[in-house]
A = this chain, B = another copy of it.
Amino acid sequence: MSLIVQKFGGSSVANAERVMNVAKIVTDTYKQGNDVVVVVSAQGDTTDDLIAKAKEINPNGSKREMDMLLSSGEQISIALLAMAIQSLGYPAVSLLGWQAGFSTNSVYSAARIKTIHKERLKTELSERKIVVVAGFQGINSKDNITTLGRGGSDTSAVAIAAALHADKCQIFTDVDGVYTADPRKVKNAKKLKEITYDEMLELATLGAQVLNNRSVEMAKKYNVELEVISSLNPIPGTIVKEVTKMEKMLVRGVTKDTQVARISLIGLDDIPGVAFKIFSKLASKNINVDIILQSVGRNETKDIAFTVSKDNADLAIESLRELPFVGEDIEIKCDTNVAKVSVVGAGMETHPGTASTMFEALYNNDINIQMIATSEIKISVLIDIKDADKAVEAVHEAFLG
């Protein structure tokens, strides 16, 4: 008998029919003799609807009250799923974050899980109940409700799997696994049977949008075996785990990210500390910077360019203007017509030919590279957004075609 944690997102429980579908999957797993903990998100658009209600009353309500409001969404879905499981003749009990023992810090709307008090979960499982847990939420040390922020339900599921030493944590989504590229765009895209945590982290960061990053980091830390699997198509998905023996395939996937903007500062004085001050300013505003390019310009000036997410572009520019050395003579350019295309694979670092294969594929397709960034397991290039799909296709063909 195994203990399996299953997580279902908002679209998987959007209406009565889908809730029944989830109940079917869960009870099928339970029938095979497994203990099952199910983590669910709020139904469909519930969270957006609640946010709209709040904005109408107060666009700047406290984050504590927003968390109080939003956490009601999962409360509805866990109760409905528990009732759906009961309607199939199986015992179920729903638990809110605080009932399931989720203890977090006090950063409302982006709380971190500190620990899970396992007693209640263990008691319910020992009575052979299917335990339905509200994802995305917990309580802080003062008994106030907190939420874990974007993708929080994935994190909730992995945290439970880690705490209970579950045999597997299945993340059900609307795709049937992790692909070497977006299968809607690249016809030769292949589904991966296995992938390492680090590779998955790069793919998640790079816009594969399958798994939330924090949940993968946590799975890696506690060595929780993840499976990305479809809630509509009952075939094996992709397993995310520490693979000791590398497979032959060097590159795991090719991704694009179009939610990126390039910001350039032109004509900065070429004196020490400029770059440091720019990037610590951005860090102080919680703006993540990705690819960075610094070039010495003419007349003892230099240019600095970097990428941020499109959401953060305006805030980044505003913050830069607060710096004393970014006067009116310094031009700040912002280009949102860019895309980041990346290849990811854990074996890459030992194969120096990867970069040249990628650049050749782009060159053969007349695609101009604006910026380059590399890490142990990925190579990213910034290109014009209009070339993004063509670039993914070409690079995928070169490595995985």
Give chain A's interface residues, CB within 8 Å of chain B: 16, 19-20, 50, 53-54, 56-58, 60-62, 64-66, 68-69, 71-72, 75-76, 78-80, 82-84, 86-87, 92-94, 96, 99, 120, 143-145
Contact = CB atoms under 8 A, between A and B. Distances in A.
A380 B96 CA distance: 48
A54 B69 contact: no
A57 B79 CA distance: 11
Given A57-B20, A120-B143, A69 B80 contact: yes
Contacts of A92: 65
B143 A99 contact: yes
A53 B19 CA distance: 11
Q: Which 5 A-B pairs have the closest CB atoms?
A: A61-B83, A69-B79, A58-B87, A58-B83, A68-B79
B94 A80 contact: no
A94 B20 CA distance: 33
Nearest to A59: B87
Contacts of A19: 57
Contacts of A16: 53, 56-57
A83 B80 CA distance: 28
A40 to B, nearest CB: 13
A385 to B, nearest CB: 38
Given A54-B79, A61-B82, A72-B79, 12 more contacts: A19-B57, A58-B86, A58-B87, A60-B87, A61-B79, A61-B87, A65-B83, A66-B79, A68-B78, A69-B75, A72-B75, A96-B145
B143 A57 contact: no
Nearest to A74: B72
Contacts of A64: 93
A247 to B, nearest CB: 43
A115 B14 CA distance: 38
A53 B99 CA distance: 23
Contact of A76 (B58, B72, B86): B72
A16 B96 CA distance: 27
B65 A94 contact: yes
